[in-house]
Amino acid sequence: MTPGSSLPAPYLPDAATGAAPGHGLLAGRRLLVVGGGQQTYGQTEPPTGIGRAISILAAREGAVAAVADLDRDAAQATVDRITSEGGTAHAIAGDASDPSDAARILTDAATALAGLDALVLNTGIAAGLGLTETTSADWDRVMAVNVRAHFLALQAAVTILEPGSAITLTSSIAARVVSTTDIPAYTTSKAALEGLCAYAAKEYAPRRIRVNIVMPGLIDTSLGRLATQFRPERAAIPIPLGRQGTAWDIAAVTVFLLSDAASYVTAATIPVDGGLSTIH
């Protein structure tokens, strides 16, 4: 039981802690995770981040992976986690919001993996507080990383991804529940991804390439903890399932969407938020 409550403590299965083994869902897949490193934001023992968890779980499920990040050391740390478990991965450094770098990241990944048939776009930052405090520079920087980087990767992938490939974009519950953040640039950028996803899914459909969005809720990551430091009330937002999510919760749904188990799912947004965006 939760102390002082008649309710049972939130259930945390192995899949939500990163302890679950793989089941071969992505056997043979060649995956690029853009934003697969992790920043600690000065935290000594941060929880695993979303991009890192996706990369590690995908490798457990049989994929070979290219992990791209602006920070080469962060990408390499993810690769080291994968190889320590017997997986195969390659680190790539680059700025996904820069057109030439974005194209090179895709090309380098396809070269390293001898092709590419899975792509995760997971770049995201937040800057500015409130409409009046957000500068135009804050706005442009967030849009570049959170939207333009996704557009550039989707554009570059047209000539690289093979038929039958799958793509996921990482959004945020902030796109639908604005009370979860006070950062309008972040909220707007994440909302924009649904339009981009719908168009990309339409354009890619004739080649049997699926494009979907994973929409995390309040997730316990280093970035999430930093957000709570600036906005303590974030930790008190009631979540129907009784807990914040983990990066592994997001990774599990991402892996499903990349797999053939989701072969008839495209242009969809899947909330992974403990019911917060619907039951509130």
Which range marks the domain in which residue 51 is found? 25-272
Q: Which of these, 54, 76, 166, 80, lies nearest to 119 by C-alpha position?
A: 166
Q: Could you tell me if residue 17 is inside a domain?
A: no
CATH at residue 66: 3.40.50.720
Q: Could you tell me if residue 20 is inside a domain?
A: no
3-class secondary-structure state, position 164: coil
- Note whether 36 and 54 are within 8 A (CB): yes
Res 229 pLDDT > 90: no
Q: Could you tell me if residue 215 is inside a domain?
A: yes
- Note whether 138 and 194 are within 8 A (CB): no
Phi, psi of 168 (to 5 degrees): -125, 145
Active site residue 186: yes
Q: Give the whole-angstrom CA distance, residue 112 versus residue 268.
A: 30
Reported as a single tens digit per residue, the pLDDT across 142-197 is 999 999 999 999 999 999 999 999 999 999 999 998 878 888 999 999 999 999 99
C-alpha dihedral sign at 151, 195, 225, 137: positive
Q: Give Cα 152 to chain centroid, integer Å.
A: 16
Reported as a single tens digit per residue, the pLDDT across 242-268 is 999 999 999 999 999 999 999 999 999
Task: Tell me which of 41, 186, 204, 264 is the catalytic residue.
Answer: 186
Q: Could you tell me if residue 13 is inside a domain?
A: no
Q: Give the whole-angstrom CA distance, residue 247 versus residue 88.
A: 21
At 169 the pLDDT is 98
Phi, psi of 120 (to 5 degrees): -115, 125
Q: Give the whole-angstrom CA distance, residue 109 versus residue 72.
A: 14
Q: Could you tell me if residue 257 is inside a domain?
A: yes
3-class secondary-structure state, position 68: strand
Q: Give the whole-angstrom CA distance, residue 214 versus residue 204.
A: 18
Structural tokens at position 145: 């990383």
Q: Could you tell me if residue 245 is inside a domain?
A: yes
Average pLDDT, the chain: 93
Q: Based on the structure, what is the number of domains in the chain?
A: 1
Q: Give the whole-angstrom CA distance, residue 174 versus residue 206.
A: 32
Largest CA distance in the chain: 58
Reported as a single tens digit per residue, the pLDDT across 126-151 is 888 889 999 999 999 999 999 999 99
**6: confidence class by pLDDT, cuts 50, 70, 90:** low
Q: Give the whole-angstrom CA distance, residue 175 versus residue 188.
A: 7
Q: Could you tell me if residue 254 is inside a domain?
A: yes
3-class secondary-structure state, position 271: strand
Q: Could you tell me if residue 7 is inside a domain?
A: no
Residue type, 163: P
Q: Residues 5-32: what's their mean pLDDT?
A: 88
At 53 the pLDDT is 98
CB atoms within 10 A of CB 207: 13
Torsion of CA 175, 177, 183, 188, to 10 degrees: 20
Q: Give the whole-angstrom CA distance, residue 54 versus residue 217.
A: 16
Rounded to 10 deg, the angle between the 247-258 and 50-60 helix axes is 50
CB atoms within 10 A of CB 24: 10
